[in-house]
Amino acid sequence: MTPDSRPPMRGLLGWLEDRTGLVSAAQKVAAHRVPRRSGWAFVFGSATLFAFVLQVVTGITLAMFFEPSSATAYASLQHLSRPGSFGAIVRGLHYFGASLMVVMVGIHMIRVYLMASYKYPREVQWLSGVVLLLLTLAMAFTGQTLRWDQNAVWSVVVGAEQASRAPVVGPILARFLMAGDTLNAATLSRLYSLHTYWFPALMFALIGLHVALVLRNGISEPPTPGRRVDPKTYKREYQALVKRDGVPFWPDAAWRDAVFGAVLILAVTALAWRLGAPPLGAAPDPSIVQADPKPDWYLIWYFAALALWPYGVTNLMIILAPLLAFGALFLLPLVSNRGERSPSRRPWAVATVLVTVGMVTALTVVGQREPWLPHFGAAPLSARTVGSRDPDVVRGAALFHDQSCILCHRIGGQGGVRGPDLSAVGARLTGDQLTWRIQNGAASMPSYAGVLTDQQLRDLVAFLETRQ
């Protein structure tokens, strides 16, 4: 039945259609034909939209109770997060919903990349998706800072410090993020406005553009090996395909989106109900500089990468790595908008995804462990590990603990892993080399010149020389 042959609508729907045309517009979207073989792999885009709607609803609810003032924000969140309260459940929904949105947008982009759905005529859809990915990560970061606990405050400081390293625009970005040259009373208000007004407004506009382009260009068909994209003929071939073998979006395809989205929302609700709001850290105190700010799990891989890069190239990689990554994402549809779409004919695409997912997973695991931090709970070396009764060696082993060397260096399985393992340092370095290193320090090791007496230095070197 064509739209023109449908019987006229009556009642409320007829009244609404006569004055707005919204009903016929919705019917047109529902009748939009999609390739029949569009299966469960195509549900992640709509799942991201479900997660975004959840974030909007819970975010507006939280905004009714949150006080975006540096003096009262922490206390208002403490009040919201009382176990078993409505506020705790809403905070939990918002927290787990953020994780859901990051995961869904990531999987959606992987699916689009593997199936080369960014090729003609969907280049602008991909570009809008890349910007939406950036905004999703920006929303995740600013959302974490609004907790305004010790971790959040120092996350802002670290984020601004990293942004300031960008050439030319770096200091401008840092001052914009901090709402000044240093952390101040306006910083939280700036972050709150970005998180609740600017970023959501941009995302609404881009989501609208993204959906409009999907309706205009159609959902990409599952790729077939050997069938290449040719901009001269693709649109004609696609229209023939959906006319011959397509199905209406509703209900033939949309039911999968609805079921998958509903399952995800129920899962997030169960987590929020069972676990409640994420715990807050200590109250913010900028005077405490021994802080270890740590992002939420979906950003911790980047945090780990920065910590593991060699000290001399950290400044370069903080700017260069994101530029290269997102530059490649932006350029992809512009330099490769035709040709094969099937993953079986594009093994390099599959390899890229596997390597990227593997690296992010590995860095996330390492980031949770934080091996680059000093091991403050390290116990003194056992007598078995020391393995000597020589008074000089015994005193040196005690100094190795008392002077905090053991916090960063491991010997015989005891100690931290921030610095090199010194279990066999005596076989690598001479006594003079050990003395020079202890007195002069290194990139992330303090100098002990003037800290140790001559006798203490000799005892420590004597102990390290026995590590063969």
* pLDDT < 50: residue spans in the chain: 1, 3
**Residue 164, pLDDT score:** 84
Question: Is 197 within a domain?
Answer: yes
Q: What is the pLDDT of residue 145?
A: 92
Q: What pLDDT sits at residue 289?
A: 60
Contacts of 77 (CB under 8 A, 6+ apart): 66, 91, 147, 148, 280
Asked which of 263, 281, 299 is the last residue of a domain, the reply is: 281
**Domain range for residue 231?**
29-281
pLDDT of residue 355: 96
Residue 82 lies in a domain: yes
364 falls within a domain: no
In a domain, 401, yes or no: yes
Q: Which of 281, 302, 333 finishes a domain? A: 281
pLDDT per residue as tens digits for the range 169-194: 888 989 998 999 888 889 999 999 99
**Per-residue model confidence (pLDDT) at position 7:** 62
* 212 domain residue, yes or no: yes
Angle between helices 86-114 and 73-80 (to 10 degrees): 100
Q: Does residue 222 form part of some domain? A: yes
Residue 378 lies in a domain: no
| 76 and 207, same domain (yes or no) | yes
Do both 148 and 34 map to the same domain? yes
| Side-chain half-sphere exposure of 355, counting CA atoms within 13 A | 6
- 53: domain CATH number is 1.20.810.10
Both 132 and 261 in one domain: the answer is yes
Write the single-letter amino acid at 100: L
pTM over 0.75: yes
CATH number at residue 387: 1.10.760.10
Strands 228-229 and 246-248, bridge-based pairing = unpaired
End-of-domain residue from the set 281, 305, 320: 281
Please report whether residue 358 resides in a domain: no
The number of folded domains in the chain is: 2
